[in-house]
Structure 1
Amino acid sequence: MQEKLDRKNEIVMKLLHYFITEKEYNPIVLQGAEDEIWLENINSDYKIIRIVSNHIHNKEQLEFDLFKTKSVVKKIKKKLMTFNIPVLSIFTDLEDNKIIEEIKDMDCIYLYDEKDLNKYSFIYKYFPDINQKLKFKEDGTQLFVKITKDINKFNKKNATEAEDLFKPKKPYITYALIIFNILIYLLMILFNRYDEIISVFATWRIGFIAGEYYRIITGVFLHGGVIHLLFNSYALYVVGGQIESFYGKSKFLIIYIGSAIMASLLSMTLGTYASVGSSGAIFGLMGSLLYFGYYYRLYLGTVIKSQILPLIIFNLIFGFITPGIDNAAHIGGLIGGILVSSILGVKNKESKNDRTNGIIITFILVSFLLYMILIQAS
């Protein structure tokens, strides 16, 4: 004889199955949270979903529950580095469903079973297939086994993807770029052609306007001295290795070149001086790391706040107060790295909206910078 599932446990399990396996929500482990399950998906309209099985018998208890929820959400906001976290609270055991009121940044619904979804038409705007997906052929213990098996399979797939993504890989393109930069510098010195090569290939607005369009990229492979070369090589080794590992070799090279071009464009827009160095492209890699970290901030949120952002801010401030540093190239590279990364997308987190917005913004920005460079020539 097959054992029948409790009504409340059944709806909770169906909801978990839907949100985890169909909408890619991940469980959040919270200390002290009893009879409620928290799920997060930072790419969804509802960033947080709570499934509450605790019996709420009056309005005062509900208000206390929502007060605790708001306190937890505040902490999650800091961790996820966002100002707005829409929350959906799903109650499965309310004494009186009329006590639910509208709350800012939080929608609350009561589900006795899946049929109650029809009372909340706004849910179908965000989850149009939820009603269909909550219907199962199985029931009782068979339903429990199926849901458990599906969730475990999905979690195993996610764990494998995360392990593959964060597993260290040999950054061969990074090594090749470092070696190439060093070889170029050594050849310039050995053949006593340093000044000549700098004058011909450096990033320089006047030369670019005169038709030497190659300057938009060649300057990134030249350096102004041994210290300049060593500093940029070390920075490229540290940051480049991470980006190449996260994005893959092809995307890494596109991000590097794209950031270098954007760095050169802003540098030529704001200055008439010649400049050299890969720091603009390296800032682009840091921008790319920021973009990646935004989508994986559950893994990298602390690192971004404590290491990456302070490093970027420090270097920008240092560039502003130190003469001879092309900070326009740094800012241009940083912006370029973010934009190119949005166009290429982050593995397992690709977004069509981000890609479209990235293409549009990049086109507008590049067109504007080229216009500003050419208008200054006239």
Structure 2
Amino acid sequence: MAHPSITCPNCGQPTDARYGSCLWCGAALSRPAGAVRRVLSSASGPGSAINGIIAANVVFYLLSLFLSKRTGLEGGLFGFLSPDQNSLFLLGATGTVPVFEMGRFWTLISASYLHGGLLHILFNMMALRQIGPWVSAEFGTSRMFVIYTASGVAGYVASCFAGIPFTIGASASVCGLIGALFYFGKSRGGNYGAAVSREVSGWLISLVVFGLIMPGINNWGHGGGIMGGIIAAKILGYRERSRESAAHHAIAIVCLVATLAVLAWAAFLSLAYRFL
């Protein structure tokens, strides 16, 4: 859930709008709760960038199932509704084989929109739905999408140099959003910044533990995504220090056009191979 900040009318410091008093000076906040709810809903409401990202992931997951020859409950619970490797490769899975051996560098973007099963996409989209609006509230929608895109690429570049032959999933991008929030909390400071850092640190620890316990987890992608998110957040800045500028919007448009072009190309190639 997004945690928007407002300016305290008494001390002038930015503080967490969810609380009835300023976290810096303790003064009562006059902003009504209804206004806070409107901020939260605007960050995560219908038509937002988050919903667009989720829709793209769902469409490409369904397309991978359509192109796949695998059906049913093959592979147990984690294999339920799992597309085969051939369909994922056609749609833009990345790794050392597609990138270094075949020169499919565009897969560094497309892989973030592919998933290996129902639980895979469900967990990633639930995490995105929780974290994405928070990042949008603190950084702005344009900067959030730039961080999401850049983190995915960073995670998969790290995967390639780590020798991962074949990998997919939105988790590298989602980890980038977590990294951005971690940077925000450390950079902002204060009670609110410390609270953000503590919560995000818990997520980071959970990611490490989960990656060590569960087989098949791309820890290099997670780590690269986190570092990409931290670096991108530091370069782009956040709302309390600088408003979103025309340059931020322009970079976001470039990321959007590149993503749409790559996904369209991946869909065309896969459908052409399947039916022509």
Unaligned runs of 5+ in 2: 1-10, 15-23, 70-82, 244-276
Residue 223 of structure 2 aligns with an amino acid whose one-letter code is I
Are 1:202 and 2:93 matched, yes or no? yes
TM-score w.r.t. the length of structure 1 is: 0.48
Specify whether residues 26 and 251 from structure 1 end up closer, same or farther in structure 2 by C-alpha distance, changes over 3 A only. closer
Residue 276 of structure 1 aligns with an amino acid whose one-letter code is I
Q: Is the 8 A contact 2:181 2:197 kept in 1?
A: no
Taking the aligned partners of 1:26 and 1:177, their CA distance within structure 2 comes to 33
Residue 107 of structure 2 aligns with an amino acid whose one-letter code is R
Are 1:317 and 2:227 matched, yes or no? no
Taking the aligned partners of 1:25 and 1:167, their CA distance within structure 2 comes to 20
The residue aligned with 2:6 is none
Taking the aligned partners of 2:193 and 2:202, their CA distance within structure 1 comes to 13
Taking the aligned partners of 1:26 and 1:191, their CA distance within structure 2 comes to 54
Equivalence map 1:149-298=2 (5 Å): 167-168=39-40, 169-171=42-44, 172-192=48-68, 194-195=83-84, 196-200=86-90, 201-209=92-100, 210-298=102-190
The structure, 1 or 2, with the larger RCO (C-alpha pairs under 8 Å, 6+ apart) is: 2
Unaligned runs of 5+ in 1: 1-23, 28-39, 41-155, 352-378
Q: Is the 8 A contact 2:175 2:226 kept in 1?
A: yes
Q: Is the 8 A contact 1:173 1:244 kept in 2?
A: no
String of CA shifts for 1:29-73, please: whole Å, max 9, x gaps.
xxxxxxxxxxx9xxxxxxxxxxxxxxxxxxxxxxxxxxxxxxxxx
Q: Is the 8 A contact 1:295 1:349 kept in 2?
A: no
Taking the aligned partners of 1:299 and 1:350, their CA distance within structure 2 comes to 20
Residue 254 of structure 1 aligns with an amino acid whose one-letter code is V
Deviation at 1:260, TM superposition (A): 0.3
TM-score w.r.t. the length of structure 2 is: 0.64
Indicate the structure (1 or 2) with the bigger Cα radius of gyration: 1
Deviation at 1:294, TM superposition (A): 2.4
Specify whether residues 265 and 177 from structure 1 end up closer, same or farther in structure 2 by C-alpha distance, changes over 3 A only. same
Residue 208 of structure 1 aligns with an amino acid whose one-letter code is V
Taking the aligned partners of 2:185 and 2:147, their CA distance within structure 1 comes to 15
String of CA shifts for 1:138-157, please: whole Å, max 9, x gaps.
xxxxxxxxxxxxxxxxxx9x
Taking the aligned partners of 1:306 and 1:272, their CA distance within structure 2 comes to 31
The residue aligned with 2:264 is none
Q: Is the 8 A contact 1:256 1:285 kept in 2?
A: yes
Taking the aligned partners of 1:167 and 1:296, their CA distance within structure 2 comes to 20
Deviation at 1:242, TM superposition (A): 0.9
Counting aligned pairs with the same residue, the percent is 29
Q: Is the 8 A contact 1:294 1:301 kept in 2?
A: yes
Q: Is the 8 A contact 2:187 2:193 kept in 1?
A: no
Specify whether residues 272 and 223 from structure 1 end up closer, same or farther in structure 2 by C-alpha distance, changes over 3 A only. same
